[in-house]
Amino acid sequence: MPTNAPARDGALPAPRAAVLDNGLKVLVQEAHTAPLVSVWCWYRVGSKDEPPGLTGASHWVEHMNFKGTAGIPADEFKELIDRFGGFWNGYTWIDQTTYVETATRDALDQMLFMEAERMDRCLYDAKACESERTVIISELQGGENDPDQLLDIEVTATAFKAHPYRHPTIGWVGDLRAMSRDELYRHYRRHYTPANATLVIVGDVAADDALRRAERRFGAIAPGIEPTPVRALEPEQTGERRLHLVREGTTGYLKVAYHAPAAGDTDFAPMLVLDAALTGAKGLNVWASFRGPAPQRRARLYRALVDGGHASAVSGAFVATAHPYLFMLSATARDGTPVEVLRDAALAELDDVCANGVTDTDVERAKRQLRARLVLENDSITNIGHQIGFFETVAGAGVLQDLPGRIAAVTPEDVARVAAGYLTASNRTAGWFEPV
């Protein structure tokens, strides 16, 4: 097997790593299956890094960083990649902001030029900021009109008291209306520095050449000061929290959230297996793995709630984060089923799992599904680039490469232990949407 190919269990080889004099970390993974290259530029800034009054700043900055730089007019920004037949995108979440371009290998210099410009020379035209304010507030209000999305936001804010994970990535509408162009620009300058970034290059490249090109494009950018990391610690939850939303609608929704371990915690892999046993394996790629349904016909909560006639759909979300976040379970009430009936059935099932764990058969099935998902989510250089940068940003070097082995080593006793430790009523926030 070539050294640059993923292993059969989904493990990726360690990328070639270098740190430029200005602090920019560069990771290069050679993959010569097609004449393509994917470039990801990651920043350790997300909604958790926003001070009071500036919620939503990181997401808004991401939008503005497609609006032109000193060297790339706004109307030419996307054309740099389009002319090579490639694609570009970006996203912001709680721990990170990232940008991606994937195109033919002869576009590598253009992709690096674009990301160097974005890191250091974005303009923040006042009129463009105002226009984007309107777009983002409209996006927020559209999300609030979706009962399932609204419930997710409210349950998360209820589950956290102290940690800034409680704020939605898009921000609170009052902050978005009050934030000035200068506050937004200062947020950009504070966090978009080489010392706070990781550049990932995956594809049909020679590692030495790719590193030289990265040095040429990024080496002259001033290092900046690495922002002070978030130190907020969420106090231990001491009792169940409940949230009941009643609004106009046609469908009932349930969300049950438990505080859960971070990516670097020893309990992370057993919790992944527990989630897969309860709702089906999703994998570890937040960019791609959650877009399709999980294999869940034999998953514990599917059998109890969907086959049991209470829900039309059930799902789980447990992902890698820098700090302890949430294990979120979601269910949609079947037509004719009061959401309170669905809630009571779900909580009874979860209480049983907390007390008794899941079967050895469920654990082995979950591990097989996870192993398959890990292989599938490395099916392209874009996905490989995402995984390398995502885990480097939230957990540090080596965690991604170790995860397949950590998952393989999980035992039924490990799963029972984390079920008993995390699925307690005192660690739970339950919210339900009742339509009227």
Output the average pLDDT for the chain. 95
CB 55 within 8 A of CB 171: yes
Say yes or no: domain 16-218 is CATH 3.30.830.10. Answer: yes
pLDDT band of 433, cuts 50, 70, 90: very high
> What are the residue boundaries of the structural domains of the chain, listed by start?
16-218, 241-435
Instruction: Kindly report the CATH class assigned to 241-435.
Output: alpha beta
Averaged pLDDT, 367-388: 94
For residue 417, CA distances in Å to 266, 269, 355, 423, 434 come to: 12, 12, 10, 10, 34
Output the pTM of the full model.
Answer: 0.95
* Predicted confidence (pLDDT) per residue in 18-32, tens digit: 999 999 999 999 999
Separation CA 49–CA 55 (nearest Å): 9
Fold identical between 16-218 and 241-435? yes
Q: Is residue 367 over pLDDT 50? A: yes
Separation CA 165–CA 155 (nearest Å): 12
Residue 435 phi/psi, 5° resolution? -80, 145
Separation CA 262–CA 244 (nearest Å): 28
pLDDT band of 2, cuts 50, 70, 90: very low
Residue 226, pLDDT score: 82
pLDDT band of 283, cuts 50, 70, 90: confident
> Which residues have a Cβ under 8 Å from the Cβ of 188 and sit 6 or more positions away?
61, 64, 65, 122, 124
Averaged pLDDT, 284-311: 90
Residue 7, pLDDT score: 64
Pairing relationship of beta strands 197-203 and 25-30 according to DSSP bridges: parallel
DSSP structure string for 164-209: GGGS-TT--HHHHHH--HHHHHHHHHHH-SGGGEEEEEEES--HHH
* Predicted confidence (pLDDT) per residue in 32-56, tens digit: 999 999 999 999 999 999 999 999 9
